[in-house]
Amino acid sequence: MFFNLDDEYLLNVSWKVKWKKPEIGWVKVNVDGSRDQYEAPTAGCGGVVRDAWGTWLIGFSQKLDPKNKPHQTELEAILKGLKLALKMNFDKVVVESDCESAVRMVESGLGYKFQRPEYEVVQSIKNLILDHEWQVEVVYVPRNANRLANKLAKDARELSSYEPCNYLSVPDNCKQLFLEDNGQV
């Protein structure tokens, strides 16, 4: 396979992108949606809430309806991450997603004009943000900065129930990624 200089540069840079801790006083909620439409259709979302020291505060996984559109799965992850942060009374929250188009949909409210099926989720996210006294930023990050949420989302597809699963401590199968994110490996 042939790479030009720009492709090689981008490959090297993308591997160096890592999760970054939020500022002191803020929490970071990394979220992701995951779908497999090819073998046995499955979908899920997951995420993790961490503080300025990189401490695991809580994580979640939830199996979702595999009939959801791709953006809907990503948007459900954002919504569930925000609901969890609100439930835990955090008032300064950065939500990071590796789905740039879903982040743009939240920022712009896109969906209403085009009657997209994901609009209801976008509207729920916007209402949740606006109806409470807190500071929320929803931002895009590259996949390499969101690996832990990606793992939780993929694992969610295998859950036996559609009930949310909360993790008060780092699940064993996520410990390596957690340590890498915190620069401990």
Please report the pLDDT score of residue 11 as a whole number.
46
3 in a structural domain: no
Closest to 174 in 3D by CA, of 16, 56, 34, 95: 56
Residue 181 confidence (pLDDT) above 90: yes
16 in a structural domain: no
14 in a structural domain: no
- Measured at the CA of 98, the angle between CA 32 and CA 114, to 5 degrees, comes to 90
- The answer, as to whether pTM is greater than 0.85, is yes
pLDDT confidence tier of residue 15, bands split at 50, 70 and 90? low
26 in a structural domain: yes
Please report the pLDDT score of residue 5 as a whole number.
46
158 in a structural domain: yes
41 in a structural domain: yes
CB 72 within 8 A of CB 35: no
Q: pLDDT (tens digit, 9 = 90+) per residue, 125-134?
A: 999 999 999 9
Regarding predicted confidence, which is higher, 2 or 115? 115
Regarding predicted confidence, which is higher, 32 or 68? 32
Q: pLDDT (tens digit, 9 = 90+) per residue, 69-107?
A: 888 999 999 999 999 999 999 999 999 999 999 999 999
51 in a structural domain: yes
11 in a structural domain: no
Range of the domain at 156: 22-182
Cβ within 8 Å of residue 49, ≥6 positions away? 27, 28, 29, 56, 57, 58, 59, 81, 84, 85, 88, 90
Residue 121 maps to which CATH number? 3.30.420.10
Please count the structural domains in the chain.
1
Q: How far apart are CA 119 and CA 109, in angstroms?
A: 8
Residue 174 to residues 18, 60, 120, 147: CA-CA distances in angstroms? 16, 12, 32, 10
Q: At what angle do helices 119-130 and 70-87 cross, to 10 degrees?
A: 20
Q: pLDDT (tens digit, 9 = 90+) per residue, 27-64?
A: 999 999 999 878 788 999 999 999 999 999 999 999 99
